[in-house]
Amino acid sequence: MCGIVGYIGTQVASEILIAGLEKLEYRGYDSAGLATIWEGNIHSVRAKGKLYNLREKLAQIEMPSSIGIGHTRWATHGKPEERNAHPHLDHKGRVAVVQNGIVENYRELREELKAKGYEFKSDTDTEVIPHLIADILTAKNSEKITFLDAVIKAVNRLEGAFAIAVLCADYPNELIVARQQAPLSIGLGQGEFFCASDTPALVPYTQAVLSLENGEIARLTHLGVEIYTFAGERLHKVPRILNWSPTLVEKHVFKHFMLKEIHEQPGVVRDCLQAYLDQEWEGDLEKTLEKSAKKSSEKKTPSPIHLSIPSSWYQDLEQIEILACGTSWHASLVGKYLLEQLAGIPTIVQYASEARYAPTPLRPNTITIGVTQSGETADTLASLAMEQHRRVNARPEYAAKLLGITNRPESSLAQLVPHIIDTRAGIEIGVAATKTFMAQLIAFYLLALDIAWHRQTLPQSRLLEILKDLRQIPAQMEQLLQDQEKHIEELAHDFNETHDFIFLGRGINFPIALEGALKLKEISYIHAEGYPAGEMKHGPIALLDEKVPVVAIAMPGSVYEKVISNAQEAKARDARLIGVMPKEEPEAKETFNDVLGVPCVDEILSPILTVIPLQLLAYHIAARRGLDVDQPRNLAKSVTVE
């Protein structure tokens, strides 16, 4: 949510700021602006809507400054109007601030500053910050107060989660940035320095990045970067080198990032398996079992899965609790099924936003997992922190065991929990998650199988059989994409006037029905709902008629006949029936009007395949309607506020 960029160096700042904001568009926004310092004054330009509106304004203004800050705003306090866009200035126009997050005590600060005569022009919480800094700089006996001192004093007055970048016209060679519970990184160049709320904005300019941690503030000048705590203590930090290439954030031959990322999924799965499966493990099941039998006579056979999670965590394990939001919550529901059915561990999945205010009773020997693709989801981080706090000074069996599943190993989540599973999906630009969802699924498969191996809840032959089938999945995904995309693109033409969709699934594919419905509503703005197929007759069936298509996931296995029966109930109500199933199944043509064919695989692995046609269906329906697939309205990639 929102995007911050900043620059100080030798180049024209405005072009770098705009280019950086374009790299952060995927985070979601409804207005944008930037501020620079030139000839002793701050020059600020803001615009409602997309960045091209800001570009049009900038084309009419000369801004040769080499220092500046920029922002894309996702509205929280105040409507998406130009007066609420960032940067915000103090009453004299000498201090400019951009901010991500929320200042929770802004009302009290606003009233305090109003009483001193400060006037407010926006409805935002952010506007208190430049006024507060200006008030500190102009207070009596403030001759010895530096710009850095003033910002340090100001941030110590703020409550909430925020990241800020600040300019002051009286200090034209300084850019101050600060972080508290919202991500912010600094890029180190040759004689120039950058800041951004996410690293894609830095990649085109530098690979050397220094991420601020909570309670840290940095002073950027033409000579270098100084980092301090909020208490003013100087810190010494070492930058890390990104292994990203600028080409990772390009569309290449694809019309949209979302379509590119759907097609990247086989490679993501292949990379995850290569990273976490023992490379000595052989695909030949009989040889592997024979080798394991020989080893077992000498010592316990090591797990073929290496997640770097302490094996002691698996001992006496009684429960797993998963905290997540949105698409990550759907992946977690699949994870619940795997952990219970393969590893035999009772598992509960909670919306992180709800768990914060209605925590479950403490249970001993519990692993708590936070799932967030960005590693910055505010509710997930807060609920994990609460769980950690609840278990401080508890008896050993109640000690906190926190695990993160994320696509960003440098994120706040990784700083909060002792162990993470890096899903290795690479940067995802499309707001609607596709490949990061897939990578989360693979993380849960590997975790469940690793626990099953250690706890011996599955016959070794069955476990190795699943691993062998997993190895084949990337090739099957590639074949599915090749076989089905053109068909789904043509099918999408039939739904130009459709207003409602129903998605059905059972067992391990019920969460995939939820995910299919979410993808469709996110990017096409069609009302869509997912249900367990057996629940149709308990209410949703009242919605069905010839205008409401029904998508049913029917994979051979334990609930196949049940799903077919539920689908026929929908067909009897004149609903257009779309099946996600192997084409060779006899019921494919008999029951369904349309079939989105997938390879026939073990039911336990089927979600990896069944979600792909639903992603493609959502994409092509939205693209056919001419909608902004990569940046759907009102949505943000990284939800960093509660």
Q: Which residues contact 297 (CB under 8 A, 6 or more apart)?
A: none
CA distances from 290 to 284, 301, 492, 598 (A): 10, 12, 50, 33
Structure tokens at 392: 């401080």
For every residue of 510-575, DSSP letters joined together read HHHHHHHHHHHHHHH--EEEEEEGGGGGGTGGGG-STTS-EEEE--SSTTHHHHHHHHHHHHTTT-
User: Residue 144 CB: number of other CB atoms within 10 A?
Assistant: 6
Q: Among 2, 168, 195, 325, which one carries the catalytic annotation?
A: 2
For residue 140, indicate whether it is catalytic. no
Of residues 427, 394, 14, the one with CA closest to residue 203: 427
State how beta strands 240-241 and 208-211 pair.
Answer: antiparallel
User: Residue 467 CB: number of other CB atoms within 10 A?
Assistant: 22
Contact between residue 9 and residue 61 where contact means Cβ atoms under 8 Å apart: no
Number of residues that make up the chain: 642
Task: Look at the block and give the residue holding tokens 């205008």.
Answer: 547
Of residues 405, 408, 370, 409, the one with CA closest to residue 387: 370
Contact between residue 383 and residue 352 where contact means Cβ atoms under 8 Å apart: yes
The amino acid at residue 29 is Y
CA distances from 182 to 163, 320, 412, 413, 492 (A): 5, 28, 8, 11, 39
Cα separation, 225 vs 7, in Å, equals: 12
3-state secondary structure 406-443: ECCCCCHHHHHCCEEEECCCCCCCCCCCCHHHHHHHHH
Percentage helix, strand, coil, to 5, in the chain? Answer: 40, 20, 40
CA distances from 429 to 198, 373, 414 (A): 11, 12, 21
Q: Among 153, 435, 519, 637, which one carries the catalytic annotation?
A: 637
Dihedrals phi, psi of 366, to nearest 5 degrees = -115, 135
Q: Which residues contact 158 (CB under 8 A, 6 or more apart)?
A: 103, 105, 109, 129, 180
Structure tokens at 353: 């936003």
Cα separation, 312 vs 299, in Å, equals: 18
Strand-by-strand arrangement of the 500-505 sheet? 527-532, 500-505, 550-553, 577-581, 594-597
Q: Which residues contact 627 (CB under 8 A, 6 or more apart)?
A: 523, 524, 525
The amino acid at residue 141 is N
For residue 637, indicate whether it is catalytic. yes
Q: In the beta sheet, which residues pair with residue 95? A: 168
Contact between residue 407 and residue 422 where contact means Cβ atoms under 8 Å apart: yes
**Cis ω before 87 (30° cut-off from 0):** yes
Q: In the beta sheet, which residues pair with residue 224? A: 221
Q: In the beta sheet, which residues pair with residue 227? A: 218, 235
For every residue of 292-351, DSSP letters joined together read HHHHHTTSPPPPSB-----GGGGTT--EEEEEE-HHHHHHHHHHHHHHHHTS---EEEEE
Cα separation, 425 vs 422, in Å, equals: 8
The amino acid at residue 441 is L
Active-site annotation, residues? 2, 637
